[in-house]
Amino acid sequence: MKSYLLDVWNAIDPIYYNLTRLQYVPENDNRNTLFRVRVTRYKGKQVVLSDGTVINKNDLLLKIHLHNVRMLTDLHNITSDVKRAVYVYHMIKRSLPWLANYVGIHKRKQEIKAIIGITTLYRGADRLGFEITSIKNPCYSIVKKGSFLPINFLANASCRNTPVYLFMSKERLLALYNV
């Protein structure tokens, strides 16, 4: 059944991709990373990152989305939760230099303050350079948790974590991953 649902999601994903104005972060050899991104205006409360970057309402950020259907397809045959977590960690780590390159050549590079993501699976994110910040709006947090239910179901993950923001300043991203 989950395999069937994954096939349906795979068929619907191009529509979602177009409706959300996402862009792939290109890798090499015409491949794409696990990240899909779009430039967005931040709508949350002020956040001060550890490097001193202050993110205010309406600041320009690059919102990162994991290509979940691709990730779940890759994880389909891995049954161990630990192996799955390690695999995802390394997939993201391998994609971050390409994200840094994307930001480094982006036409709005000077305006972009940071990258942002929303997730319930944030264990190990700090080791990649992300800062974890709670979502202050409880309604938004509930909506996001609900939106992650299909992903968690298909991934066989019983995630009870509350969604959080992951931030990384542009300067930190470029310092850590710009090769």
Report DSSP letters for 20-44, one per residue.
TT-EEEE-STT-EEEEEEEEEE--S
State the residue range of the domain holding 79: 2-177
DSSP state at residue 126: G
pTM of the complete model: 0.84
pLDDT band at 7 (very low <50, low <70, confident <90, very high): low
105-114 pLDDT per residue, tens: 999 999 999 9
Residue 82 predicted with pLDDT over 70: yes
**Nearest-CA neighbor of 130 among 173, 83, 86?**
173
| Under 8 Å between Cβ of 24 and 32 | yes
Domain count, the chain: 1
Give me the sheet containing 60-66, strands edge to edge: 23-26, 32-41, 60-66, 114-119, 164-169, 131-134
Dihedral sign for Cα atoms in the order 112, 127, 146, 149: positive
